[in-house]
Amino acid sequence: MTLSTDSWSFLLAAMLLVPAVGAAVVALLPAPRIVATLFAAVTFVLTLTPVVFSRDLLWVSYGDRPPAVVPWLNLDLPWVPALGLDFHLGVDAISYPLIVLTGLLTVLCCAYTGSRPLAALLLILEVGVLGTFLALDLILFFVFFEVVLLPMYAIIAGWGGPGRRAAARKFVLYTLVGSVLLLIAVVTVVSQAGTGDLTGSFDLSRHLQYFVFILLFVAFAIKAPLWPLHTWLPDAHTEAPTVGSVMLAGVLLKMGTYGLIRIGLGVAPEGAEWASPVLGVLAVVAILAGSLICLRQRELKRLIAYSSVGHMGFVLLGIATLTVTGIQAALIGNIAHGLITGLLFFLVGTLKERAGTGSLDQLSGLREQAPRLAGLLGFAAIASLGLPGLAGFWGEAFAVVAAVQAGGPLWVTCGVLAACGGALTAAYFLRLLRRVTHGPATPMVRGAKPSIAGVEWFAWGPLVLLTLVVGVAPALIVSGTDIPILRLLEAVSRG
Amino acid sequence: MGSQVVGHFSLIPIYAAASTAILALLADLFTGRRAVIVGVTLLGALATAVCAVVAVDASPTFCAGGGCSWVPSGAAATVAVLFAGLTAGVLAFSLPALRLGIAPAGEFCFLLACSMTGGVTVGYAGDLITLIVGLETLTLPLYVLVGLRRFAPSERVTTDGAAASVTFFLISVISTVIALLGVALNYAATGGVHLAALTAAAPPFAALAGVGAALLVIGLAFKVAAVPLHAWAPATYDGAPVPIAAYLSTASKLGGVIALAAVVSRLDTRAVVAVLAILTMTIGNLVALRQTRMIRLLAWSSVAQAGYILAALALGEPGVVAALAYAAFFVILELIAFGVVVALRAPGQDGGTLDDYRGAGRRFPWLGAAFVLALAGLAGLPPGLAGLFAKLSVVDALVDANWTWLAGVVVLNAVIALAYYVRVAAGLYSLPERVGLSVADPVLVDEALHPHGPVPRPVAVTISAAVVVAVVLGFAPQALFDALS
């Protein structure tokens, strides 16, 4: 039995409407804390539903010029024709895992946080992130890309650490630079191609594609972030409250990598092909630089933040290869990083709150004082360093495989260096574990509460579980993505 | 020469606006009661808006020699509605001060309604003379309104208002002279004053017409406070009563923008306007970064915003709809921002420093939310969707015309601007300064230290109405684009 997809496309609008209404209710009415979690939970359930409508594309024939994106669910309404803006939403195999991840992390964060305004901001953030992943119109994508800026600023500036003002300002100005470049790029494309519809094809001249891709590349490289445009990230992560860090690492960074796949490859395939060596080299530099900086870090959250730079380097390396394997590795890497780094930020945030310090010099002996917390931290760190069988492995291993398969001295070198970066990742995470969990307990650690509360289990449990599940069955994330990716890459090879 | 047929139906918006002024004066003369005067003026503003909507499809009138002097259109009607709304809003903002007798209600309402009449005229003007007469009618009452302030016997008398008024008067008169000289030179070169007949001059007079067009643009640029003709604006805004500063920054600026749009869409002034645009937005934003007084910051931000409008106008005809749309979105957001300043300050007080607003968003959550909406909109970011679409329309127009480099300048300026908008917004929610001893709840202490009565109802109603308009236009901007084109 097949369900008619048109009559269910309201689900897509509901995914945005429910958290938006939830944010308004939580912010304006004196509702109890649980209400925010309920709204987030309903949204999460909604984000799960599109899989019911997934279609195996092999069964569908589309003439000789197949559309670039065949969404499972599709909602297309005119919004502002004067600006070429359609309210066009859709889900396909590439965006689906990210949408579910966003829904999940928002529920966990809403349940974890105790502050009502903070929960409302998380829900607004969710609207922006889900909208970005759902948008199938270029200008709409840009609008949602902008939605996340101010709520994230408010989360950092309102609930952050001592240097929050400066960190929040740096975050918002830095990422706005990326957004405005994206604005110029999408407006140029819509103006020249006459359409902003991502399910269609864009006929742009080669030089225009180069120009557009450079703008998109810088815009998404700031968001992802890619070395050397990553400098806003460590400050933002260090100062942000725990849930802010989780959302930032878990889903906000993915907007950059997703944008590069969906918009960058979709709109300017020739530009992507032209720039891919640069992207690959920068990604490898990011991996190595991230790892080397991590080896020298003395602050927990900063260390995890820099580890994100390295992990996102692997994702970008996967994309840069412009092969099915590479992009699938990037998609798994995206999800794995969201789960594992989300978990890591939850854990180090809690540890920092309880011990009152995030300095590695003052933390040791956690194993004796709080064995469960130390166990979870060990699990997350090992998952993050890419142990086979856990989620972190697939994305990084196959990014390297894709680079080596791509052939040629440049890509093989990139693959080899990335693999060395992977080894360095293991080195700094083991250093972290040695410093924090082993050794004699410091007074700070001894003063920390060892038990794990129910709400913490609720927030962390799903992430631990999914890290295992994705590690065992990565096909869950990439099944059905081969054909959409081939569609994107066809345009590249055609050019 | 036969007498002209006058299309009175086309003229009903200006009849309504002008009668509002006269009725306000008569109401003061015969009743002298504030409620009646204010009521008459508010109703008159409403009537003006209704008449503009009713007469939207009326035919042009005062036609002679190949052009018409009074041209109703969708854009003109939209502008008239905006002027009526801004006048009503500013009057509502001024009510607390009028109630305290800080300004005489009769004169105040009369002058404000006169100014509205000028604004409506600018919107409908079909020739350069009508345009400049309209602009002067819009500005002339403002010289008085800027300095119109009575001091209570116990109050310290300041001359800030008078100084602001004189500055504004001198600059404005000079700018009018320059604009008129431009009109005259252009007339000498082409023999046309009707906007429809404005074209490039024949070869021997081309240079003369070019100078005329440039002088006209420069004269009008004074009105929108474009750099380097902007120096009067921050001083005048800061010296004027806050509601009048709101009017200067919205209605008066809107008048200048419409006049400029009328000129640049017909005469080739792209180079002059582009240079003005770049200077205006860049210098406006950079200087705004350093401001510590609220009204001065808003004034410099409003200078910068004029730069974005000028950027669209630099395209000539293709940029007019984008420029007018930007101006419409901008005046609504600006009205909200000034409204919140009025609401947070005591009647008759000036705008104060940024520190005076510390924690205000915690004490007044609704006002704080409205201010954040306005600032986000001015920065062009959600939740101020109206502002986002305003920026988008300007960038879209520039990129469509292959002026991507200017679009680049616009968006980079938007980044600079965000730096001071977030500074203001964050200040609203920052915790109060330490009082020196440890207290359980610093917010409660802060509230006790900042006694403030409830927000006056007319101010609250106006802010709410403006917020509703901003939100509705944010979700349905197409309505505005349709109305303007």
- Chain A positions touching B393 (Cβ under 8 A) are 82-83
Please state which of the ranges A32-36, A89-93, A182-186, B321-325 shows the lowest mean pLDDT. A32-36
Residues β-bridged to residue A197? A137
Contact in structure between B200 and B268 (CB atoms under 8 Å) = yes
Are A84 and B381 in contact (CB < 8 Å)? no
Query: Which residues are CB-contacts of A48 (< 8 A; sequence separation ≥ 6)?
Result: A100, A103
Hey, is the C-beta of A431 within 8 angstroms of any chain B C-beta? no
Percentage, residues of chain A above pLDDT 90: 26
- Report d(CA A231, CA B92) in Å as an integer: 48
Average pLDDT over residues B112-141: 93
Which H or E element spans position A79? strand A73-80
Percentage, residues of chain B above pLDDT 70: 95
Phi-psi region of A322 (alpha: psi -120 to 50; beta: other; left: phi over 0): left
Residue A490: what pLDDT? 76
Q: A5: closest CA among A71, A100, A95, A80?
A: A71
Q: Residue B438 in 3-state DSSP?
A: coil
Phi-psi region of B156 (alpha: psi -120 to 50; beta: other; left: phi over 0): beta
Residue A80: what pLDDT? 86
- Report CA torsion sign: A290, A357, A252, B475: negative
- Chain B positions touching A176 (Cβ under 8 A) are 381, 414-415, 418
Cβ neighbours of A434 (radius 10 Å): 12
The residue among A444 and B35 whose pLDDT is bigger is B35
Contact in structure between B326 and B394 (CB atoms under 8 Å) = yes
Is A59's pLDDT higher than 50? Answer: no
Among A150, A190, A208, the strongest candidate for a mutation testing the B interface, having the largest count of B CBs within 10 A, is: A150
Query: Which residues are CB-contacts of B172 (< 8 A; sequence separation ≥ 6)?
Result: B139, B143, B222, B223, B232
- Chain B positions touching A146 (Cβ under 8 A) are 381-382, 388
- Report d(CA A25, CA B464) in Å as an integer: 19
Residue A495: what pLDDT? 46
Cβ neighbours of B194 (radius 10 Å): 21
Average pLDDT over residues A51-72: 64
Instruction: Nearest by CB to A184, from B399, B415, B422: name it.
Output: B399
Token code pair at residue A330: 């990037």
Hey, is the C-beta of A403 within 8 angstroms of any chain B C-beta? no
Percentage, residues of chain B above pLDDT 90: 51
Distance from CA of A19 to the nearest CA of B (A): 15
Please state which of the ranges A247-261, A424-438, A471-485 shows the lowest mean pLDDT. A471-485
Average pLDDT over residues B278-291: 92
Q: B128: closest CA among B39, B67, B172, B174?
A: B67
Average pLDDT over residues B246-251: 92
Residue B245: what pLDDT? 92
State the average pLDDT for chain B.
Answer: 88
Percentage, residues of chain A above pLDDT 70: 95
Contact in structure between A210 and A274 (CB atoms under 8 Å) = yes
Token code pair at residue A13: 């609008």
Instruction: Nearest by CB to B381, from A84, A149, A191: name it.
Output: A149
Distance from CA of A412 to the nearest CA of B (A): 38
Residue A484: what pLDDT? 81
Hey, is the C-beta of A128 within 8 angstroms of any chain B C-beta? yes
Residue B365: what pLDDT? 86
Is B241's pLDDT higher than 60? Answer: yes
- Report d(CA B424, CA B419) in Å as an integer: 9
Query: Which residues are CB-contacts of A448 (< 8 A; sequence separation ≥ 6)?
Result: A351, A354, A355, A369, A370
Average pLDDT over residues B273-285: 92
State the average pLDDT for chain A.
Answer: 86
Chain B residues at the A interface, defined by Cβ less than 8 Å, are: 321, 376, 381-383, 385, 388-389, 391-393, 395-396, 399-400, 404, 407-408, 411-412, 414-415, 418-419, 422, 426, 429, 477-478, 481-482, 485
Q: In this predicted model, what pLDDT tens digit does every residue of B153-208 receive, in sequence order?
A: 777 778 888 888 998 999 999 999 999 999 999 888 888 788 887 777 777 788 88
Radius of gyration for the alpha carbons in chain A, expressed in angstroms and rounded: 21
Among B399, B405, B467, B480, the strongest candidate for a mutation testing the A interface, having the largest count of A CBs within 10 A, is: B399
- Report CA torsion sign: B80, B86, B90, B92: positive
- Chain B positions touching A84 (Cβ under 8 A) are 396
Instruction: Nearest by CB to A146, from B382, B399, B485: name it.
Output: B382
Among chain B residues, the shortest Cα distance to A165 is held by B426
Is B403's pLDDT higher than 80? Answer: yes
Transcribe A381-399 into DSSP letters: HHHHTT-TTSHHHHHHHHH
- Report d(CA B292, CA B444) in Å as an integer: 26
Instruction: Nearest by CB to B426, from A157, A177, A180: name it.
Output: A157
- Report d(CA B95, CA A270) in Å as an integer: 62
- Chain A positions touching B412 (Cβ under 8 A) are 177, 180
* Cα dist from B470 to A149, A433, B336, B473, whole Å: 20, 53, 9, 5
Question: Which amino acid is it at A470?
Answer: V
Is A4's pLDDT higher than 60? Answer: no
- Report d(CA A281, CA A417) in Å as an integer: 10
* A·B CB contacts under 8 A: 83
Residues β-bridged to residue B61? B70
- Report d(CA A379, CA B420) in Å as an integer: 44
Phi-psi region of A479 (alpha: psi -120 to 50; beta: other; left: phi over 0): beta
Is A150's pLDDT higher than 70? Answer: yes
pLDDT band at B79 (very low <50, low <70, confident <90, very high): very high
Among B372, B373, B381, B480, the strongest candidate for a mutation testing the A interface, having the largest count of A CBs within 10 A, is: B381
Residue B2: what pLDDT? 54
- In terms of average pLDDT, the best of A13-22, A221-230, B1-10 is A13-22
Token code pair at residue A302: 């900063």
Average pLDDT over residues A447-465: 84
Please state which of the ranges A192-206, A303-317, B308-322, B470-484 shows the lowest mean pLDDT. A192-206
Among B315, B373, B411, B413, the strongest candidate for a mutation testing the A interface, having the largest count of A CBs within 10 A, is: B411
- Chain B positions touching A80 (Cβ under 8 A) are 389, 477-478, 481
- In terms of average pLDDT, the best of A86-95, A359-368, A436-445 is A86-95
Residues β-bridged to residue A75? A89
Among B395, B429, B472, the strongest candidate for a mutation testing the A interface, having the largest count of A CBs within 10 A, is: B395
Are A82 and B478 in contact (CB < 8 Å)? yes
- Report d(CA B138, CA A457) in Å as an integer: 66
Average pLDDT over residues B49-59: 89
The residue among A95 and A440 whose pLDDT is bigger is A95
A 74-103 residues inside an 8 A Cβ radius of B: 79-85
pLDDT band at A153 (very low <50, low <70, confident <90, very high): very high
Among chain B residues, the shortest Cα distance to A139 is held by B392
Instruction: Quote the ipTM score.
Output: 0.90
CA-based angle B460:B466:B472, to the nearest 5? Answer: 135
Distance from CA of A469 to the nearest CA of B (A): 37
Burial string for A104-140 (b: 16+ CB within 10 Å, else e) reads bbbbbbbbbbeebbbbbbbbbbbbbbbbbbbbbbbbb
- Chain B positions touching A180 (Cβ under 8 A) are 411-412, 414-415
Instruction: Identify the residue whose tokens are 């790029």.
Output: A185
Contact in structure between B142 and B237 (CB atoms under 8 Å) = no
Residue B438: what pLDDT? 65
Q: In this predicted model, what pLDDT tens digit does every residue of A292-319 receive, in sequence order?
A: 988 888 888 888 889 989 899 999 999 9
Helix segments in A65-163, DSSP class H: 96-112, 116-134, 138-147, 149-159
- Report d(CA B12, CA A485) in Å as an integer: 62
Contact in structure between A57 and A67 (CB atoms under 8 Å) = no
Residue A226: what pLDDT? 85
Pairing of strands A85-91, B61-64: unpaired
- Report CA torsion sign: A262, A264, A267, A271: negative
Are A187 and B429 in contact (CB < 8 Å)? no
Please state which of the ranges A97-111, A404-418, B142-156 shows the lowest mean pLDDT. B142-156
Is A8's pLDDT higher than 60? Answer: yes
Q: A101: closest CA among A255, A328, A221?
A: A255
Hey, is the C-beta of A176 within 8 angstroms of any chain B C-beta? yes
- Report d(CA B374, CA B337) in Å as an integer: 6
Q: B325: closest CA among B389, B380, B379?
A: B389
Query: Which residues are CB-contacts of A288 (< 8 A; sequence separation ≥ 6)?
Result: A417, A420, A421, A424
* Cα dist from B380 to A19, B333, B375, whole Å: 23, 11, 8
Is A1's pLDDT higher than 50? Answer: no
- Report d(CA B120, CA A107) in Å as an integer: 53
Q: B419: closest CA among A482, A174, A119?
A: A174
Among A16, A28, A83, A239, the strongest candidate for a mutation testing the B interface, having the largest count of B CBs within 10 A, is: A83
Hey, is the C-beta of A157 within 8 angstroms of any chain B C-beta? yes
pLDDT band at B440 (very low <50, low <70, confident <90, very high): low
Among chain B residues, the shortest Cα distance to A169 is held by B419
Among chain A residues, the shortest Cα distance to B475 is held by A79
Instruction: Nearest by CB to A150, from B382, B395, B485: name it.
Output: B382
Is B87's pLDDT higher than 90? Answer: yes
Q: A68: closest CA among A413, A442, A486, A396?
A: A486
Residue B1: what pLDDT? 46
